[in-house]
Amino acid sequence: MSLVDHPDSERARELAERTRDLMEEVVLPFERDLAPGESVSPDGLATLREAAHDYGVYCPQMPTEYGGMGESFRDSLAVFEEAGRSLLGPPALRVDAPDEGNMHTIELAGTDEQKERWLPPLIEGEARSAFSMTEPAPGGGSDPKMLQTTAEKDGDEWVIDGHKWWTSNGYEADVFLVMARTDQEKHPYEGCSLFLVPAATDGVELVRDVPAMESAVLDLSHAEVRYDGVRVPEENLLGAENDGFRIAQQRLGPARLTHCMRFCGMADRALGVARAYMRNRDAFGSSLEEKQSLRHRMAERELDLHGTRTMTRDAARRVSGGDEARLPVAMCKVRAARMIQETVDFAIQCCGGAGLSRDLPLVDFYEGMRFFRIGDGADEVHLRSIARAAFADEHVAEADLGNLPQF
């Protein structure tokens, strides 16, 4: 439980309480029963998802007609936060990346036929998806304008050629959401499109699973993929032609906030683990809980967590009101990524050798969260956007120099 309550809606509080009960009564005991380094099995995940249905918190963010609960984005965030207290929480409630963001994208931009085909199996966990945008050099990474993958029209089909990697879920995916250039004459932001590419399509080659720093609990892949003359029908275009980056931005904003909330939940649990250990471990004549330096550092981490939770809720309020809120989302992304790294590292330090063991969840947390300072936009990319806004003409006035002599 976080130290400070937030003025969430009554519905959000109800959903949070249900999710907290599910986590405490089902998910955390299940997590503790896994052997160190053991991945959750498909049967185990199915058991957790059945429990999430029973507790009334399964896939709250998706429409009811496709199998979700139809809750608002703002109210659903409380579920994301509570689910983040275990690596098993998000997949159990079907609020896990990248599927959650991909489902939102299909809901946002898909045709009725695309939604009917893909959303029900994705929501129920019978299908998986992957967002295939990042490319190895010289392709697009932190600078997506460098995108190299192309899609060319040939009659009533699109022919996709390109090389991607860090396609999370790639080896598990039934469908890929592929970003490709469809108009070479236009700026990439105005000449790229998204396509739904079933994994079984001829020409889709899974090159390898990129070895990555990530917890083994979920056993996710990060595939390197080649698209070699991949043909998909015209109706597999997701959204309008050349509208891919606008759709991707609409996907990434909310998806970044859901990441932030999941990591707030993870941070809250990490600090709880640290406090419990500090209370029960003595050194140099008193418990670790009584050491002033550790108490002050714990307070700093609580300050950081509260600030991140507050910022994320503010950004979510803006997004729910129809604002893209690019700058607030970028600030949340950087703040949350730094917060979770510093918090989990601190919790490990508090627990000493126990913190480095897999008897506690902290090592899995550490391995599972480090990507966040790079994935979904590296810190530096978001800081660049924030700095650009800070130095925009309307924010820089010579009058602010007061009586300082002219340079």
Select from 378, 317, 355, 395 the least CA-distant residue to 142.
Answer: 378
Which tokens belong to 319?
């997004």
249 touches 193 (CB < 8 A) = no
The one-letter amino acid code at 38 reads E
Q: Which 3 state secondary structure label does DSSP give 203?
A: coil
pLDDT at 401 over 80: no
Dihedral sign, Cα of residue 19, residue 24, residue 30, residue 31 = positive
- What pLDDT, on the 0 to 100 scale, is given for residue 233? 98
Select from 393, 391, 260 the least CA-distant residue to 325.
Answer: 260
Kindly indicate the confidence band of residue 312, based on its pLDDT and cuts at 50, 70 and 90. Answer: very high
Q: Is 353 exposed, middle or buried (0-12, 13-18, 19+ CB in 10 A)?
A: exposed
- What pLDDT, on the 0 to 100 scale, is given for residue 393? 81
Kindly indicate the confidence band of residue 406, based on its pLDDT and cuts at 50, 70 and 90. Answer: low
Kindly indicate the confidence band of residue 400, based on its pLDDT and cuts at 50, 70 and 90. Answer: confident
For 201-341, where are the E strands, in sequence order? 204-209, 222-233, 237-238, 282-283, 286-287
Which tokens belong to 6?
């937030």
Is the link from the previous residue into 98 a cis peptide, with omega within 30 of 0? yes
Lowest mean pLDDT across 138-152, 239-253, 338-352, 386-400? 386-400
pLDDT tens readout for residues 388-397: 999 998 887 7
d(CA 395, CA 404): 18
d(CA 108, CA 15): 24
69 touches 60 (CB < 8 A) = yes
Report how far apart, in Å, the C-alpha atoms of 395 and of each of 387, 389, 405 are: 11, 8, 20
Which tokens belong to 327?
């700058």
- What pLDDT, on the 0 to 100 scale, is given for residue 1? 65
d(CA 121, CA 220): 19
d(CA 129, CA 121): 10
Work out the percent of the chain whose per-residue pLDDT is above 70.
99
pLDDT tens readout for residues 29-73: 999 999 988 999 999 999 999 999 999 999 999 999 999 999 999
- What pLDDT, on the 0 to 100 scale, is given for residue 407? 56
pLDDT at 2 over 80: no
d(CA 32, CA 17): 21
d(CA 77, CA 336): 14
pLDDT at 364 over 70: yes
- What pLDDT, on the 0 to 100 scale, is given for residue 232? 98
pLDDT tens readout for residues 3-37: 888 889 999 999 999 999 999 999 999 999 999 88
Kindly indicate the confidence band of residue 339, based on its pLDDT and cuts at 50, 70 and 90. Answer: very high
Arithmetic mean of pLDDT, 297-315:
97
Rg from Cα positions in the chain? 22
Assigned CATH for 245-394: 1.20.140.10
d(CA 132, CA 24): 35
pLDDT tens readout for residues 73-130: 999 999 999 999 999 999 999 999 999 999 999 999 999 999 999 999 999 999 999 9
pLDDT tens readout for residues 257-300: 999 999 999 999 999 999 999 999 999 999 999 999 999 999 99
- Any idea what DSSP says for residue 26? I
Instruction: Dump the DSSP string for 134-153.
Output: ---TTS-SSSGGG---EEEE
The residues spanned by each domain of the chain are 10-96, 129-238, 245-394
Statement: 129-238 belongs to CATH 2.40.110.10: yes
d(CA 155, CA 185): 20
Other beta carbons within 10 Å of 391: 9
Assigned CATH for 10-96: 1.10.540.10
Maximum alpha-carbon separation in the chain: 80
d(CA 309, CA 130): 28
Other beta carbons within 10 Å of 180: 27
d(CA 317, CA 186): 34
- Any idea what DSSP says for residue 41? P
Arithmetic mean of pLDDT, 367-378:
92
Arithmetic mean of pLDDT, 359-373:
94
Which tokens belong to 375?
């994935």
pLDDT tens readout for residues 130-152: 999 999 999 999 999 999 999 99
